[in-house]
């Protein structure tokens, strides 16, 4: 079982200019822009791991050894596949290796049903059906999907059919990222294991604890 990021976010949810304003750094002072950019990205990565979400649009791939992997946090006895790292915008492909080792791509709406309204998003076989049997090899089942609130941190994207309706990254998340980046900026020796309680308090309402 694994989760791979195929396409990382094109931008950060917190713009460098906004972070500099938050830290009271003059916009014309570019001396430390490289370091600030790195801290901004590091804070976002930590916040995504803490909340178990993805903020800016990313393409992910969930890998499993079978459709009914018994100890998986994403596959359960009801045949429901729960996709980690919401909010899920769309499913790109669901494919598996059959008994002969051939790659089979399942058709959405025919071979499986998608529920993007639930959180986390869910995939199920059609009524009266079960998932097919996959070849007994590592990562025999592969689900590629798009997750994130949108393509930018502050500008909502057009509504996605059946999925997030033009959402942008919540202000609480962006504030948490800025506070964490600022904490590391003002620390002589930043330690990712020493996270201020205020950051966790800001991000806690957005944690996905259902997987």
78 within a domain of the structure (yes/no): yes
116 within a domain of the structure (yes/no): yes
26 within a domain of the structure (yes/no): no
22 within a domain of the structure (yes/no): no
User: How many structural domains are present in the chain?
Assistant: 1
The DSSP call for residue 126 is P
185 within a domain of the structure (yes/no): no
Task: Report how far residue 185's alpha carbon sits from residue 131's, in angstroms, rounded to the nearest whole number.
Answer: 49
119 within a domain of the structure (yes/no): yes
Confidence at residue 165, expressed as pLDDT on a 0 to 100 scale? 43
**Cα 61 from chain centroid?**
10
Domain range for residue 110? 58-147
Tell me: the pLDDT tens digits for 80-113? 899 999 999 999 999 999 999 999 999 999 999 9
What are the two backbone dihedrals, phi and then psi, of residue 182, each rounded to the nearest 5 degrees?
Answer: -65, -35
Q: How many CA atoms lie within 13 A of 124 on its CB side?
A: 15
Provide the edge-to-edge strand list for the sheet that holds 81-82. 81-82, 122-124, 113-115
Handedness of CA 67, 70, 73, 76 (dihedral sign): positive
- Which residues does the chain have with pLDDT short of 70? 69-78, 153-167, 188-193, 211
130 within a domain of the structure (yes/no): yes
Residue in this structure with the two tokens 């713009």, named with its chain if needed: 15
| Crossing angle for the helix pair 33-51 and 171-185, to the nearest 10 degrees | 130
Do β-strands 88-97 and 141-147 pair in parallel, antiparallel, or remain unpaired?
antiparallel
Confidence at residue 162, expressed as pLDDT on a 0 to 100 scale? 46
20 within a domain of the structure (yes/no): no
pTM, rounded to two decimals: 0.85
């Amino acid at each position: 079982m694994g989760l791979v990021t195929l396409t990382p976010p094109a931008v950060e949810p917190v713009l460098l200019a906004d972070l500099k304003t938050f830290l009271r750094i003059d916009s014309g002072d570019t001396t430390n822009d490289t370091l600030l950019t790195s801290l901004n990205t590091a804070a976002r990565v930590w916040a995504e791991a803490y909340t178990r979400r993805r903020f800016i649009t990313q393409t992910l791939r969930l890998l499993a050894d079978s459709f009914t992997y018994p100890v998986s946090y994403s596959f359960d006895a009801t045949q429901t596949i729960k996709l980690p790292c919401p909010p899920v915008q769309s499913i790109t492909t669901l494919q598996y290796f059959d008994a002969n080792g051939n790659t089979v791509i399942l058709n959405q709406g025919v071979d499986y049903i998608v529920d993007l309204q639930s959180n986390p998003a869910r995939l199920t076989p059609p009524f009266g059906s079960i998932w097919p049997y996959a070849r007994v090899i590592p990562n025999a089942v592969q689900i590629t999907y798009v997750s994130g609130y949108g393509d930018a941190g502050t500008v909502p994207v057009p509504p996605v059919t059946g999925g997030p309706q033009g959402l942008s990254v919540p202000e609480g998340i962006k504030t948490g990222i800025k506070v964490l980046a600022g904490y590391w900026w003002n620390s002589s020796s930043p330690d990712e294991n020493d996270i201020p309680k205020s950051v966790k308090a800001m991000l806690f309402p957005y944690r996905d604890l259902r997987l």
